[in-house]
Amino acid sequence: MAKRKPRQVVVYALFRVVSFFIYLLPLRSGLKLGQCIGKIAFLFLKKQRRIALDNLEFSLSDSRIDKSLIARQVFENLGKNFVEVISLSKFNKANIDAYIKCNGFESIERLLKQGKGGIVLSAHFGNWELMAHYFALKGYKVNVVARRVRNEFFERFLGKVRRQHGVNVLYRDASAKEVFAVLKRNEFIGMMPDQDMTNVSGVFVDFFDRKAYTPNGPAVLNFLTGTPIVPCFMARKGFGHEILVGQPIELQKTGDKQKDILENTQRYTRVIEDHVRKFPSQWVWFHERWKTKENSHR
C-alpha cells in the first residue's frame, strides 16, 4: 500500500483541481464537458472499449443495433456521472425534483405504510450514486451496500458527500448483523447484484442467454427474512433523469433454500436484463460480466 500512496495522492490532487473548475460551471455546461470527457475515454481506454463492444456483440444480436454508438454513449454517460458526483452538494430539497422525476414510488410508499422495509434492487445503471442521494434528499432513510473505492482519498471524498445528504453506506465487508439490523428496523437497503464478483456469495444464472456468476445476496436475505425485493433504476432523460420503481418482484417460496435462492436470483437478474435491454447505453458494458466460468468455480 505504501508504494501506491504517492500515486494515489497525485491522482487525487489532479481530481480535486479538475473538480474545482467543473464545480464552478453551471450544471448544463458541466454535463457537456462530462460528455466530452467520456468521448475521450472511449477513444483512449482501448481495453474497456473492446470489452464493451464484445459484450454488446454477444448480448444484442440484432444487426440493426449500432453497438459502437451504444458503447460510446456508455462512456459519455459515465463522464456525465462524474460531473454529477462532483456537483452533488449543489442538489437540495428545493431543486432536486426539477432534475429528477420518480415514477412508481407508490410501491415503496405502500410498504412504508405497512411498516415494512425492502431490498431495493438496482444495478450499475444510469447514475446509481445520484439516485441514492435523491431519496435521501426526499427525506427517506437510505442504506446502500457498496464496494470500497481503491483510492482511499476518493473514498474519503465520497464518504463526506454521502454523509452530507444522509446516505448510509454498508460496505461489502460489513458483518451480516449490520445488514440484518437495517432490515429489522424495517428500513430499505439498496443492492446492485449485476457484476461478476467471486469474492461474494453467488450462483450462476442466465443473463443475456449466457451463464453469469451473480451475487445472490438479495435472494438470501429474502429467504431468511421475507423482505420484499423492489426494483429501482434511474435512466438519463434529456437534461435530468427518470427513476423507475417497479412492484415487488414475485418470488418463489417453496422452503427449499438452495432452489429458492437460485430461482429468485434468476428472477431479479431477469429484471435487470429487461432494464438494460430497454436502456442499453445506461449500463456499464465494459465490466467483464461473464469472466467467471461455471466449471472453474466449482
Domain ranges for the chain: 5-297
* In the predicted structure, residue 64 carries a pLDDT above the cut 60: yes
- The residue ranking higher by pLDDT, 175 or 268, is 268
Query: 183 phi and psi, to 5 degrees?
Result: -70, -35
DSSP bridge pairs for 232: 245
- Rounded to whole angstroms, the Cα distance separating 160 from 31 reads 22
Query: What are the angstrom distances between the C-alpha of 189 and each of 12, 81, 144?
Result: 30, 22, 5
Looking at residues 194-219, what average pLDDT do you find? Answer: 95
What per-residue confidence (pLDDT) applies to 148? 85
What per-residue confidence (pLDDT) applies to 237? 95
Looking at residues 117-128, what average pLDDT do you find? Answer: 97
Looking at residues 104-114, what average pLDDT do you find? Answer: 93
H/E segment holding residue 293: none
Residue range 149-177, pLDDT digits in tens: 888 888 888 888 899 899 999 987 777 88
| Length of the chain counted residue by residue | 298
Give the rounded distance of the alpha carbon of 155 from its chain centre: 16
pTM of the model: 0.94
* In the predicted structure, residue 1 carries a pLDDT above the cut 90: no
- The residue ranking higher by pLDDT, 177 or 214, is 214
